[in-house]
Structure 1
Amino acid sequence: MRVALTSWLAGRRLEVVGGLLVLGGYGLLFSGLYSSWGAHLLTLPGLALLGWSLGLGGAALLGLLNVPLQVVLPNLDQAAWDAGLYRAVYLLAGAGLLTSLAGGLARHYYDRRLMDEGATDPEPRPDRNTELTLFSRMHDGLAQDLEPLALVQAVVNTLHEYPRFASVGVYQSEGPALRLVYAQGRQTLPTYLDADHEIVLRAAHKAEMVVTRSPGRSQALLLGERGWVALPLVVRGRVEGVLVALGLGEVHPRDVRFLEGVAGQLSLALDRAQAYEALREQEALYRTLLETLPDGVALLDGSTLLYLNPAGLRGLGYTRLEEVVGKPLAHFVHPDHLPRVAERIQRILAGQGDQLEEIRLIAGDGRALEVEALGALVQFEGHKRVMISIRDIAERKRQQARIEYLAYHDPLTDLPNRRKLWAEAERIFVPDRRKRGTPALIYLDLDNFKVVNDTLGHSAGDELLRQLARRIREVLRQDDLLVRMGGDEFAVLLPSADRDSALAAAQRIRKVFEQPFALGDQLIYAQPSMGLALYPEHGETLDALARAADVAMYQAKQARMGIAIYDPSQDMNSLERLETIQELRRAIQEGRFLIQYQPILDIQSRTVSKWEALVRWEHPTRGLLHPGEFVPLAEEAGLVGELDLAVLKQAVQHQKHLGGELAINFSAFTLAHPHWVREVVRALVEENLQPGFLWLEITESALLPERQKWLGGLVALRGLGIQVALDDFGMGYSSLAHLKQVPVDLIKIDRSFVEGIGRDPISEEILRAVLQLARAFGLRTLAEGVENEGQLDWLTRHGCHYAQGYHIGPPMSLQEATGMRRLA
């Protein structure tokens, strides 16, 4: 109490002495001055000074004491109390009270302001210039670095020079506690603060400032009795650390305000550092992506190349970026494609979208490169730029060309195959009769070819077929098409020929057999049987001519005449075929068919997930007939559409017993049925079968130009969820163009390629190419004719999705299939 009073008197000595001197002088002079009212006002300055020095409470007491003082003074002087004196006393008493209160109130506000500014500190304090200097140095340090630790060190080292701080440190969250990152000072700060410490609970978890100003109130955190401040470092709404300052003694408000400014600056700097780090990481990520992408990426300003990634440099035959940067667009784009490319870039710069397109570029060595390019508008350094992704498609085109060639050619003889024959027929047998020629077809096979294979081996038989192909090709005209149909069967399509010229062509072919074939050490003579069919006499379609030529070849073989022209009167099967067609029509109407189901294996999961419905005809006299024995008749008679729909209805009824997905074959004739889409939907609705459980397998004959008549219906069904498979891919009519135009989900690879696995490298090459092609088109694959575990393993390694064949399971009745599903 004594110390406090002494401090108070030392701070206000002048005001008190001054006020007392004024009042004492007034009392001494009162006797000579009481008659002058104006002189009475001399008491007011003294009251104001005393009110200022005493504060608001003392001023109020002083004002009240002034009233009796003004009464006592006239009595001491024995003044006469008249009206004027009364007025003077009243005036001085009221004015004195107001004056002392005004002085006390002014002192009250003045003291509060000084307290806020720390002016009441009796100890030495750093001046404002010191604070500004340290703050400026710290600000400069924060602006020069973007590493979080360096920022913390700069702040702590600067604050350490503040004369009222003993130690300064920054803590970082580590689990529920805080760990010291960096500290400086005379007082050692603890390395860890436990989770229950006040700084952790309030500053780290609640983002509150914690201040202990007076000595004796700090926790065991700090040695000695010192005040301290803990300020959270909030970055993007999250406490990233805590700034702790330990004072030399009491912590004052001005110290706290200074630290708040420092913490704010450090938080902003850490925020900037985090943003920079994120930006640097993104830049590193994008740069890594650009530099490791297998496709080229180019950046242009419209006409000039600004950047090309390493893949693009390699693709164009350059080694350094400096070789291409700044070069005009015409330096890289083929002249034939330059106008279109320049127009695309201008459209992109105008904000229009771009589409993937094939273009031709020029490599550094002058080579022409086939690429796919796609552009996009980007902002780079404040300007609009065009970024173009470039993919080299030369290898893909080579693979496609190879696949096209393998798909249309026989790998053994290098002759066109059956598919090529039917593709050529699309060109020759046009609907417009006026544009048709008069084609002829020759079928040929070797007599007793099996004897050659059995006696000399299959390699000798293969060599015989290769030599035969070369000989026949040499005697045909340039426009004549020689194809290998399979085995020892060949066909020759003459685009325009009458009876005589067709017979002359057959005679030229026959002459090539007059010379023996050298098969190793053996000289072998071979004899052919040939059948001729003429347009339009023997048929107006390739199917009709093929049948007629086949019958004629059989006639030539039976009669041992070498060459035969089709003679309808000699076709002994015509009447029998007509009767069979009538029986088939009744069987379709009465539903007298047996449906067997062959399991389809999901190779990845090794489970049976699908079943293919295969129709069989229980003929009353001929027994159980397979599709090859009656489906061609149904197609010829126009009954196959009704047959397929009948099979569909019955198979959909069985699906609830089978489980899994159901695959049903649909021919081109079925797709031409006027109500086929409606019938498919009706079958699903009647049996409450989800569309996703149904697969429609389209035979290759469906890919003829007539597809435009049914393609819309197939797209509509596919939109409902029904899936589409292309059957026997690799044989018949399939082509890459069809895969783009027809909505297909799966391709079934013909068994003739599968059976070559492990013994025919060419078949394996074709299989690999087909599987790669399917992946390129996003299609699933199913291999037919899997007969052993070795074939299944090969298909598994090369990414085939499904397998079907006797190794998986033969076609079986509904009861057997249901039992197999239960066992599985």
Structure 2
Amino acid sequence: MLFLILHGVLLAGLVVSLWDGIPSLVRQGPRRFARLAIILGVPVALLVVANLPVIPVPLGVTLVAMASLAYLEPDGRLLLGRLVALGLGGWMTELGHHAGDWPRLLWDGGWIFVIGAAAWRFRRQRRLLMAGTAVTVLAVSVLVNPDGIQDALVTLTAGILLLGYAANQLQRETALAVQTERANADALTGALSRYGLAAWRLQGPSPEGAVAVLDLDDFKWINDTYGHAAGDAILREFARRLKEACRREDAVVRDGGDEFSVWMPGGTEDDWASVVDRLHRVASVEPYPTPGRMVQMGVSIGWAAGSLTEETWQRADQALLDAKRAGKNQVKGESPVRVDLSHSPTRDPDGELGWLSDAAAILWHPWSEAAMLTNRAGTILAVNPAFEALTGLSRHQWIGYNPRRHQGGHTPQSVYQELWDTISAGRVWHGAMENRRPDGTRWWAEETIVPIRVGQDVVGYWAQVRHARPKPSTWQASVVDGTELDVVFQPIYRCPVRDLWGYEALVRPRRGDQAISPARFFSDAFHMGDGIRADLKALEAIARAVEQRSWPGGISLFCNIHPQTLGDPGFSAVEDRLALSVGRDQLVWELSERRLEGDEVFTADFWRQSLPGRRWALDDVGSGAHDLWRLWGWPTDVVKVDLTWTQALLAYPRARDMAGMLIEWVHQRGGQVIAEGIETETHWESVVQMGFDGGQGFWLGRPQPELLMKEGTRP
């Protein structure tokens, strides 16, 4: 009996060794040869062993091996070939042992056919296949077989080992497939991970194409304001929209955080530009649903054409940075786009802008922002594809006509008068007007119209147009009066003891239930010429919020402000309200680069003479192009280092060296330095080690409507 068990173990070991060994040996060879070796390896080996007098191969072992293949071979065509080869090998073995006994051979051949057909038919129902095979094999081994008991014992031993091996192998492969899928796909959005991208590239897409890198603008404030559940909902919806906008052969990858990339194999530059434009439209036009509200998001995109490699991705990422520096929510492409000029725009009747019409057709073609060119009479000479898509009219329907041809009818006449008075004087005009599409739908456009000069003469105008959402309720009041401002407070702590220093007051704009990015709100307001009123509205909202709370003694209040607002009569009134609540010596006015550009008239002498007795903070230092100028030209009571610099302290020695020099320089002048963007305990430890005076960030405390921590408390 022991010999029979060892006999079964030997046969099972032989089959398993061949199943594992042959694919490894032939993997590097020609594909056809490899498949042939996998199909014929086990049958040939069993035939050879069966002809040895000491190691007979019972038919039951062949039948069990056939059933086990249903567990091991996922390729349907290859499984069929292996079943046929193994069945023929088993029948030829029986032919060698029972030559001339045709009833026996027909009996055995019938069972081989039955098991082979069952393995093929029930390859997805493996438990049923295993049970049926066990009963059949034992019956075949015992019936019409003088050595039935011995064969049954050998077959039973080999069968247990073979089916156990097959089931275990299937379980391992299933687990590996699950782990591979998890590694290849982002769990939150379903987009490919960087590992998934590598696997996609190995599948052999066209080596040439284009890569687009996309980033949700101002995404961090969503998490800070509404929590990570809202941020996750936006990321899932963002990924879904990208997949819908892509071609079937494209790959959507989540590179990390709110940055995604789209890899586009094959195609032409026109194809890629079309896909990128579609990506921007679907990702930025409609608001995003989150728990309890709709949130409007902008999307910046950079793209580049070339080989589908990391180098092309890096060029696209650089284009994304250009898009963000240019104002966000736009597309920047590295690759030039070929433009068909066979239908060039109508020439300017005065002959002064014909050359510029052709140039505009080429330069504006890849823009995602809508643009048009007119002569000094207002006749349209050129539009770009984004303008056509926005308005619903082709360039042939626009060229030669005045833009007022499709006005909506609700824009006050005074707006048009102000427009012409402004641009006729050679100045840039910002404003909003209602328009009408061919299907009758009405929509509001935010427009910037810039005069074009040749020498001292205005010869035409170019305009940049975008859809204003939501619809303005009234002219000029659309941004400010149509927006509600909620106020939250983010704590700032002293280093190294982590005692409460103060709060930065932040506004969270919304229009109804739809949240608006603060950057978008102030940008739109200043774009519409109503920025000072937006600034004062924010300060009044902060003043009301502070008055409704019991402000802790000795705690500072940091407020953001535009320099031009300082000269408005309304500033003094709201400053007095804040000073009454928190103390004038605890008020700190923050000025960032995006609020200073173009205001060089405000010098250090101006601050000392015109605005004495106030404390000032330079915000976002390290993120702008004029930071050095701000440091020596503006007061430095407090310098707030931008989060990009704070988070770079851990990775870049030069960032630490420069931060050390800045801290020393500010301290020598009696100022203090606060690090923004402290997101982890490691960030805090590095800030303390560097000698910063204070810190602010999500790890220390997220923006909240209430003052959660009183004087002297710690998070």
Task: Calculate the TM-score normalised by the size of structure 1.
Answer: 0.33
Higher CA-based Rg: 1
TM-score, normalising length from structure 2? 0.37
- Could you say which structure has the greater relative contact order, defined with CA pairs below 8 angstroms and 6 or more residues apart? 2
